[in-house]
Amino acid sequence: MIYPIVKYGNPVLEKPAAPVTEFDDELKKLVADMFESMYEAKGVGLAAPQIGISKRLAVIDVSFKENPREKLVLANPEIIDTEGKQTQSEGCLSIPDFRENVTRANKVTIRAQDVNGKWYEKTGEELLARAFLHETDHLNGRLYISHLSALKRDLIKRKIRKLVKAGEWK
Ligand code: NI
């Protein structure tokens, strides 16, 4: 099932999500649906709050279907180590058509549970490091625009308010 992506302005995006506790068939179905919804939206990462489900669950595939081994399920992820810096253009499926440069760590190690509840650690660099941070932020109710200067963030918010008024932000 393909879920519509929740957009900025919906409170579910700005509240901390609840831990995943059941690693059952329902969760497996949700994870499969999240991958499907992410690919449909042309994204490389998707967090459950972005489909209106306030759970600490995200999926990532920085290869975008090229390499099945790069499909990652992050349940209850924690950032356990960061190193270095990178500045790259970043966007979010919940804030479509906007992109801004965001400085983040260049190398990030996470600890998370897979779809079966098994804990694992993984280190990612560059885009994967960015995805780990971006998606974990989502689970804490934080969006990438919170990493921008107040000036840039307010400009984006103002543009979005205009789109909302015009009925072009649903
Ligand atoms: Ni996002």
**Residue 6 has what DSSP assignment?**
P
CATH number of domain containing 88: 3.90.45.10
Q: Range of 40's domain?
A: 11-165
Looking at the domain assignment, is residue 139 inside a domain? yes
Per-residue pLDDT tens digits for 84-138: 999 999 999 999 999 999 999 999 999 999 999 999 999 999 999 999 999 999 9
Could you tell me whether strands 72-83 and 57-60 are parallel, antiparallel, or unpaired per DSSP bridges? antiparallel
Q: Quick check: is 91 in a domain?
A: yes
Q: Are strands 100-104 and 107-113 parallel, antiparallel or unpaired?
A: unpaired
Cα(143) to centroid of ligand 1, in Å?
7
Q: Among this protein's residues, is 135 annotated catalytic? A: yes
**Domains in the chain: how many in total?**
1
**pLDDT, tens digit, 9 for 90 and up, residues 4-19:** 999 999 999 999 999 9
Distance from the alpha carbon of residue 166 to the mean position of ligand 1, in angstroms:
23
CA of 32 to the centre of ligand 1 (A): 18
